Amino acid sequence: MLQAMLLLLVATCTVAQSTTEIGQAVDIDCLVGFEAVNGVCTDVDECQRLNDDGSGVLEEDRRDICGNYVHSHRPGYRCVNTPGSYRCERIVDCGFGYRLNETLGVCIDIDECAVLGYEAACGLKLPIKVCINLEGSFRCDYRTCPPGRYLDRTTGECNPCRRGYAKNLLDECVDIDECGSRKDSCPPHMRCVNYIGGYECKHKIFCPMGRRANYNGTLCI
Ligand SMILES: *[C@@H]1O[C@H](CO)[C@@H](O)[C@H](O)[C@H]1NC(C)=O
Ligand SMILES: *[C@@H]1O[C@H](CO)[C@@H](O)[C@H](O)[C@H]1NC(C)=O
């Protein structure tokens, strides 16, 4: 299609050109946007040109044909050369986390988890976290383990809590307070003493050396 267009334009150009003999040299009049190269009307690449002739313009103020500062690292327009002309296309800045789909002309979310991969996105080798893609962003959350298991953050494994420990909302194994959580941990006449990883039932009375509490814990015998 483009080739057909080019041929058509070259053909038009040939029809329009006229030659003038000046001594040995041959001058050709070409259509606007074309210039004579070795006696043939050739398309001018306007994208290579500046929008001024350079006179009285400071080097840092020089702009290309689309108006971009020549030294700018973030031009606003992209120059596209066409047979006999050119066009300036707006460069759409989609911003962080998005990229332009040039076909559709719309900004679409970048799936960082897929593009970067888990290791680069979350900065971890072990599967301690999971990468979650978001609109324009992404997040790395700690894995959740099945009920009764906690995430060992040094290995990334889901392990069961040790005896006397239970999983809390932060996915940590914490000591169970058997005295607070269960009323029947100790017989009624004994007091319950919680310690990390377990509990103990103690007599309510304190007996001096050499004596001990009776079964009831009501008397020292
Ligand atoms: C742009 O979107 C179209 C339609 O969804 C899709 O076919 C094409 O692959 C996309 N191009 C890029 C570069 O993502
Ligand atoms: C507790 O001790 C008292 C006094 O020795 C006794 O009468 C009672 O039967 C005991 N109760 C239990 C449950 O053993």
Per-residue pLDDT at 14: 41
pLDDT tens figures, 104-126: 888 999 999 999 999 999 999 99
Mutate to test the pocket of ligand 2, among 204, 212, 216 (most ligand atoms within 8 A of CB): 216
- Whether 202 is covered by a domain: the verdict is yes
Q: Which residues line ligand 2 (CB under 6 A)?
A: 215-216, 218
- Whether 199 is covered by a domain: the verdict is yes
Structural domain count of the chain:
2
Per-residue pLDDT at 26: 57
User: Distance between CA atoms of 34 and 136, rounded to whole angstroms?
Assistant: 45
Measured by CA distance, the residue closest to atom 7 of ligand 1 is 103
- Whether 155 is covered by a domain: the verdict is no
Nearest-atom index, ligand 1, CA of 99: 14
CA nearest 64: which of 75, 177, 95, 182? 75
- Whether 120 is covered by a domain: the verdict is no
Nearest-atom index, ligand 1, CA of 108: 14
Domain region containing 211: 176-221
Contacts 24+ apart (CB under 8 A), 50-56: none
Nearest-atom index, ligand 2, CA of 215: 14
- Whether 92 is covered by a domain: the verdict is no
- Whether 186 is covered by a domain: the verdict is yes
Per-residue pLDDT at 85: 95
User: Distance between CA atoms of 88 and 51, rounded to whole angstroms?
Assistant: 13
User: Distance between CA atoms of 170 and 141, rounded to whole angstroms?
Assistant: 12
Answer yes or no: is the C-beta of 155 below 6 A from any ligand 1 atom.
no
Answer yes or no: is the C-beta of 104 below 6 A from any ligand 1 atom.
yes
pLDDT tens figures, 13-48: 343 444 444 444 556 789 999 999 998 999 999 999
Answer yes or no: is the C-beta of 169 below 6 A from any ligand 1 atom.
no
pLDDT tens figures, 144-169: 888 778 888 888 999 888 888 887 87
Per-residue pLDDT at 97: 94
Q: Which residue has the tokens 């040299």?
A: 25
- Whether 127 is covered by a domain: the verdict is no
Q: What is the CATH number of the domain that holds 193?
A: 2.10.25
pLDDT tens figures, 51-79: 888 788 888 889 999 999 998 888 889 99
pLDDT tens figures, 177-204: 888 877 778 887 788 898 888 888 888 7
User: Distance between CA atoms of 99 and 118, rounded to whole angstroms?
Assistant: 20
- Dump the DSSP string for the chain: -HHHHHHHHHHHHHHH--EEEETTEEEE---TTEEEETTEEEE--GGG-BSS-STT--GGG-BBTTS-BTT-SS-SEEEEEETTEEEEEE-----TTEEEETTTTEEEE--HHHHH-HHHHHT-SSTTEEEEEETTEEEEEE--PPTTEEEETTTTEEEEPPTTEEE-TTS-EEE--HHHH-TTSS-TTEEEEEETTEEEEEESSPPPTT--B-TTSSSB-
